[in-house]
Each structure stands twice: as structure tokens, then as C-alpha cells.
Amino acid sequence: MAPKGKADALVQKSPAEFFAENKNIAGFDNPGKCLYTTIRELVENALDAAESIGELPAIEITIEEVSKARLNRIRGVEHHDRLDEQLYQDFETEEAKKKRLAKEAREQEKLKKLIEKHGEGSKEAEAKRKELAAVAGAAKPGANMRGNLFYKVTVKDNGAGMPHKDIPNMLGRVLSGTKYGVKQTRGKFGLGAKMALIWSKMTTGLPFEISSATPRAALRSHYRLDIDIHKNEPSIHLEEQLPNPDGWHGSSLSLTIEGNWSTYRSYILRYLRQIAVITPYAQFMFAYKAEDDKNSVRIGFRRRTDVMPDPPALTKHHPSSVDLELVKRLLRATTAKTLAAFLQKEFDRVDKSLAARVVDEMQAGVEGDMSPRDLDEKQIVRLHQLLHEIRFSDPTGKHLSPAGEYNLRLGVMKELGPDLIATHQGDVRVFEGHAFIVEAAVSVGGKNVKPGINVHRYANRIPLLFEGGSDVITKTALRRINWSAYKINQATDKVGVFVSIVSTKIPFKGAGKEYIGDDVVEMVGAVKAAIQACCLQLKSKIMRAIAAREQKQRKKTLSKYIPDVANAIYSVLERMAGAAAGGGAGDGEAGPAAKRRRTEDPGGGGLLVRDEFGLLPAVAAKEVTAATLASRLSEYVERIDTDMALEYQVQQGLAAGEAKAPLYLMPLSGRHVHGPEVHTTTCVVKLLTGYT
């Protein structure tokens, strides 16, 4: 607060200072989350860099534990022996220690009792165990002290690399980047890598270590650089260009930060697993190197296809997406000589004749051959209004690069191995002049899937792991889909919902790119439609599965009774055959009727027997036994089952009105256009839809 009577002094902040003070806006909330977000930002840059040159990404991610002692050695800080132990937060008197240990023992005793009463793994025991894990260590003095949690994070890619002279600005100046154009990219704000550097600066003070080479470069750049937060400027510690004899291209970025592996380990691994699902054409090698090697982790997510989606293309601004300030900026920066040429050159969906009509509509003395720079303030305002009032065709969406149903399906199959899966790619839709495409996969069953609806979200092919509750995908999946209408039990079935949205503008809430708001009506509609389309496909699969299950069950039930039924019938037949042989009279009829026998029950019960098939003599001669009857009954059950299955298939085919088309087998060639796939237990049949 300013001293009384004095006004607050005016202070200006650099963007770097602002983000350093509000790092949670960019997803850098606490040490654990910072470790996660650092990995995420570097991995996403690596993927963007490889895809931008059409290279199948191969990415190495290493997190190396750095003890405080090692960190101090790196920083040149001398070893420090404590003089006065009692000064420190982790000091504990003998009495306090005794009390703490006694309490811990009591809690362990309670857990033991719960296990005895409800069993190991029971709900009660697990809840207690969780409670103990949550408070473990928290009661220890000094628990809040920042401990030994430092990590060297290195991410290496085989991407486009960075031009030598641009590296300091790209990685040492907040809000600078190459992804501000109208293009679908994972990065957008020119912030992520610098936030990681700021975090490193705030916690360890160590700089960025960067190696990078562009394709076919004879030299490789090596930088050690830092950021001057106050000036928002790079500060270079080391700059050199080294020979690049093996023609390597890509980047390797390394930072040493404070973090918390144990609390964010599961998020980091989940993130990698999910990015492997949506990017099956990439290879990720992950290594966590602990100081104690037994705690180290190594995981590889192998490339599962060489089919990479076409890279996204740069497009122009759609007229309905521009604001007044952007119109002014475009007018200033354009190389077009006339207003008509400006409209045609700078905007999507504006051809020559439409540009001329827009200029005519400007009126007030504006001519098509007028220079864009000569427009006065009022004319610019008029132009901006017209751009929003005139009906322009929607963007085509050809510049977008969705993962593709093939990749999405492949990723889900490989990671979850579900029992059933359906995928769908929606049409190109538009919001605020930006095209977007929603793709979805819905799976049922699979490994490591919890019962219920498990939502997996992707935006521009980035997995989104946090703030799910407010996200358009989660809300739509949980609240706007009537799962039971598709024969899916929302509570007990293991349902995986994967939704991926790609666009030149993802309406993220916040610079941390954690979730997409639920307030964009167009997006809500597209997400719902994509999930429903998958559910519809699943419904027929599920109904077929249910019918097959019921059929199997029916057969099992019928077969179970066969021995008893055969024995019962046989014993009746045996009695009848005995009675017939013992004096029953024929009915005297001729012809076919001669086969029939009528006999009176020897017991006098008045039983009338008609032996339609001439069975009784065969029974009497032991040609027909209980075993014969059982085998004939089994055959019959088998036959009606096959008949019913055939009947069902025919009805399904007719009911679904499926179009039938001839099917041919042929060798694959590069000219074939891939269509959907048919997955069986032994093979995958690729359907081809034509030639290029």
C-alpha cells in the first residue's frame, strides 16, 4: 500500500513478468504440475516440428532426478553444514517424534483391523489406506520444506529444427513464435517453452540448453540461454555452431526444474499414452532416471503405422472471423496495390468478382483501384462491418488435419484392446469463421478400462487431462447422450469415449490449453453428433452380440435337458413296445395305415398309441436306444440353431436395407484409396474405395 497521501506509483510489467507472476494461467500451478506441463509443452513442440516437414516423429523424453547436492554442485553452491539444527523446519524434539510415531502406529493398527474384518482389497481397507497415504509425511516436521525434487528434463526430436539466429527469440522471449498464422497447430501462444524456462529460472536458476539443426544444415546450433524476465529478452550464455557431419536435423531442449514426479507420474504417463493413441505414426521413448536406479522407469510407445495425416496447411482469415484491429493490421501489412486485390489476396472465400461487389457495396467514394492504405478511419469501420454482414461461403476445412478414423481406431485398439469399437469423422463445421472437424471413437470393454463412461479429450491432437468437468466433450458425453438408447449401460459397461477436435482456433479457456468451453453452440452440436454416430454403429453390433449370446444360451439350455428327455421318452417307448409285443391288436387298416398300430394299455388305462413312424418294433429290437434319441435331439437342436441364425442374418440384412456391392481381393498398391477396415480376431481386411 502507498504511504498515506501519496498516489500509487505507476509500474509497467513485461509480458514475461506478468506470466512469471501468474504462471498458473499457463498451466504451471505447483511443482508437480510444472513438471507435467514442461514435458507437455516440449513434446508438443517436438511433434509440431516433425510434422511440419512431413517427418514421422521420433521423440525421446528423459526426466533425470537431480539431488539437491548435485544441483548445488552444478550451480557452484558450496556444501553447507548446519550449525543450529533447531532453526530448521525439519527439526523435531524427541517427545514430538515419539507422539508422531505412536499416532502412526495407531493408524496402522486401525488399518489392520479393517483388513481382518472386511478383507484385503476391500472398499473400507482401501479407503483407509488412501487416507493414510494422503497424510503420509505431512505430519513430519519440515514436510512443507521444498525437498530434493529437481529434475533435468530433455526432449529430443527429429523435426524441422530452428534457424540459428532465431533461437534466442524463439526460446528466450515470451509471446514469440512461428504459430500465430491461421493454421492448425498444437502450439499457439508463443509461450509454452518460455514458461518452462521461467519456471526453471525461478526454482534452479539454470538456463536452457539447446541443440538444433535444420534439414541439410552443415552446422548444428548450440545455445545456452536464459530469459531476462524484467526486459522480456533472451540473455545468451553460450552461442556456437558446431559441425553436423551426420546430417542430423531436429532439436534437443534441456531444462533443470523443480518438480514432483511422485504426485504427477501418473499424469505424465497417461499423457504419453494418450498422445500415443492420437499419434500412432509417432514413436515416443520415455525414460525416468532415478538417483536410485531401481526406481527408474523406461517406456516405449512404438510407431504403429507409417500413414501420417496430411499436414495442416496455412489458410487465410475468413472475412467473418476478423476484428477491427486485425482489419487495420492487414490493411497496413498487405502488398496488394488495390482494395479489390487486397480483399481477394488476404481473405478466404473471396474471389475477384465477390471482391468487386464488396468494394461497390462500400460506396461513399470507395473505388476498387484505391490503395488499401488510403482508406480513412470511417471507411475501415465500414469495411469491417461489411465483412461481418455479407454472406461469405464457409471455409472448406481442407487446410485442417484430423487424425483420421484409421489412426484413431488403430490407437484405441492398440492401447485398450476393446471388445467393440466404432469411429466417426464429422463434417467440416464452422464457428466464428473458423472451420473445425470433430472425430470420435467409442469403445466397449478392453484392458484397464473402468466401468462407466471414460472420456478422453483431444484438441488439435493434444490430449487434455485437466479441468475435464467443465469441458464440452466431457459434459456432452456425460449429460447429452442417452446411452441406454444404444443398449449401453452407462454405469456398468466399460465405455471409452475418445473425441478429437481440430481447428484453426480451438476455444480454449486459458493459455494452459486445459479444456474447451461448453459455450460454443456449434461445437456442442458437432461433438454430440459425432458421439451419437459412433453409438449408432455400436448399437447394431451390440444387438448382434446380444442375439448371438442369447442363441448360445438357448442352445446350452436345450442341450442340458437332452439326456433326461431322451431317457424319459425312451422308457415310455420301451413300455409301449413291450405292450405292443404282448398282444396289442392292429387296427386292420390297409396301405400306409398298416404301419400304424393301436394298442390298449396293458394296465387297462385305456391308452391309445399310434405308432406313426413304425418306431416301436425298432425300439423292441434295440435298434433305437436312449443314445439314438439323444443324438437325434442334439442334431435337431443344432439344426434349429443354425436355421435361426441364418434367418436372423437375412432379417438383419433386409431390415438394415444394406446396399450390397461386389467384393474383390487384390494386391495393394500405392494408388489405392483406403476406406474403412474390417477387424476380425485373426486379420484386418482393408477396404479400398478407389484409385488416386
CB 190 within 8 Å of CB 60? no
Residue 326 C-beta: closest distance to ligand ATP, Å: 19
CA–CA dist 248, 216 (Å, integer): 8
Closest CA to 414 of 293, 346, 540, 498: 498
Binding segment for ligand ATP (CB under 6 A), chosen from 86-94, 170-178, 362-370, 652-660, is: 170-178
Task: Classify residue 516 as left (phi > 0), alpha (psi -120 to 50) or beta.
Answer: beta
352 carries a ligand binding annotation: no
157 carries a ligand binding annotation: yes
Specify the DSSP class assigned to residue 508. Answer: B
Residue 475 C-beta: closest distance to ligand ATP, Å: 24
User: Is residue 173 part of the contact set for ligand ATP (CB under 6 A)?
Assistant: no
Q: Which of 160, 282, 420, 624 binds ligand ATP (CB under 6 A)?
A: 160
Nearer to ligand ATP, 158 or 500 (CB): 158
CA–CA dist 392, 408 (Å, integer): 33
Cα 685 to chain center, whole Å?
Answer: 25
Q: Which of 23, 194, 316, 424 binds ligand ATP (CB under 6 A)?
A: 194
Residue 197 C-beta: closest distance to ligand ATP, Å: 9
User: Is residue 57 part of the contact set for ligand ATP (CB under 6 A)?
Assistant: no
Q: Which of 32, 41, 304, 316 binds ligand ATP (CB under 6 A)?
A: 41
CA–CA dist 58, 157 (Å, integer): 6
* Class of residue 523 by CB neighbours under 10 A (exposed 0-12, middle 13-18, buried 19+): buried
C-alpha distance from residue 495 to each of 267, 412, 419, 451 (Å): 20, 12, 10, 7
555 carries a ligand binding annotation: no
Binding segment for ligand ATP (CB under 6 A), chosen from 154-162, 264-272, 550-558, 595-603, is: 154-162
Instruction: Report how many residues bind ligand ATP under the rule CB under 6 A.
Output: 22
Contacts with ligand ATP in 510-569 (CB under 6 A)? Answer: none
Residue 292 C-beta: closest distance to ligand ATP, Å: 31
SS3 642: helix
Nearer to ligand ATP, 274 or 532 (CB): 274
Residue 273 C-beta: closest distance to ligand ATP, Å: 21
Closest residue (Cβ) to ligand ATP?
187
187 carries a ligand binding annotation: yes
Contacts with ligand ATP in 206-265 (CB under 6 A)? Answer: 251
628 carries a ligand binding annotation: no
Q: In residues, how long is the chain?
A: 692
C-alpha distance from residue 126 to each of 114, 132, 136 (Å): 9, 10, 15
Binding segment for ligand ATP (CB under 6 A), chosen from 58-66, 158-166, 277-285, 438-446, is: 158-166
Helices (H), 22-121: 31-52, 68-75, 94-118
CA–CA dist 499, 458 (Å, integer): 6
Q: Which of 16, 39, 191, 542 binds ligand ATP (CB under 6 A)?
A: 191
193 carries a ligand binding annotation: yes
SS3 448: coil
Residue 239: how many other CB atoms lie within 10 Å: 15
User: Is residue 34 part of the contact set for ligand ATP (CB under 6 A)?
Assistant: no
179 carries a ligand binding annotation: yes
Q: Which of 14, 37, 38, 45 binds ligand ATP (CB under 6 A)?
A: 45
Closest CA to 649 of 544, 556, 552, 562: 544
Q: Which of 27, 190, 259, 368 binds ligand ATP (CB under 6 A)?
A: 190
CA–CA dist 156, 119 (Å, integer): 48
User: Is residue 179 part of the contact set for ligand ATP (CB under 6 A)?
Assistant: yes
User: Is residue 674 part of the contact set for ligand ATP (CB under 6 A)?
Assistant: no
Residue 44 C-beta: closest distance to ligand ATP, Å: 6
User: What are the b/e assignments for 160-178, b being 16+ CB within 10 Å?
Assistant: bbbebeebbebbbbbebbb
User: Is residue 49 part of the contact set for ligand ATP (CB under 6 A)?
Assistant: yes
Q: Which of 162, 257, 366, 497 binds ligand ATP (CB under 6 A)?
A: 162
Residue 610: how many other CB atoms lie within 10 Å: 12
Beta strands in 356-426 (DSSP E): 420-425
191 carries a ligand binding annotation: yes
Q: Which of 172, 187, 404, 507 binds ligand ATP (CB under 6 A)?
A: 187
Ramachandran angles phi, psi of 479, nearest 5°: -115, -20
Q: Which of 36, 189, 288, 406 binds ligand ATP (CB under 6 A)?
A: 189
Residue 501 C-beta: closest distance to ligand ATP, Å: 16
Contacts with ligand ATP in 597-656 (CB under 6 A)? Answer: none
CA–CA dist 29, 138 (Å, integer): 20
Helices (H), 136-212: 167-172, 192-203
CB 616 within 8 Å of CB 573? yes
Specify the DSSP class assigned to residue 399. Answer: T
Specify the DSSP class assigned to residue 521. Answer: H
CA–CA dist 145, 540 (Å, integer): 58
192 carries a ligand binding annotation: yes
Nearer to ligand ATP, 182 or 193 (CB): 193
Closest CA to 29 of 232, 273, 267, 233: 267
45 carries a ligand binding annotation: yes
Q: Which of 188, 222, 316, 318 binds ligand ATP (CB under 6 A)?
A: 188
Q: Which of 27, 192, 404, 496 binds ligand ATP (CB under 6 A)?
A: 192
Task: Assign 3-state DSSP to the chain and report helix, strand, coil percentages, each to 5.
Answer: 45, 20, 40
Q: Are strands 494-503 and 452-459 parallel, antiparallel or unpaired?
A: parallel
Q: Which of 71, 182, 193, 442 binds ligand ATP (CB under 6 A)?
A: 193
User: Is residue 170 part of the contact set for ligand ATP (CB under 6 A)?
Assistant: yes
178 carries a ligand binding annotation: yes
User: Is residue 46 part of the contact set for ligand ATP (CB under 6 A)?
Assistant: yes
CA–CA dist 632, 401 (Å, integer): 61
Helices (H), 282-404: 324-333, 339-346, 352-362, 377-389
User: Is residue 168 part of the contact set for ligand ATP (CB under 6 A)?
Assistant: no
Residue 284 C-beta: closest distance to ligand ATP, Å: 14
Nearer to ligand ATP, 170 or 428 (CB): 170
Could you list the residues that contact ligand ATP (CB under 6 A)? 41, 45-46, 49, 157, 159-162, 170, 177-179, 187-194, 251
Query: What residues form the annotated binding site for ATP?
Result: 45, 157, 178-179, 187-194, 513
Query: What residues form the annotated binding site?
Result: 45, 157, 178-179, 187-194, 513
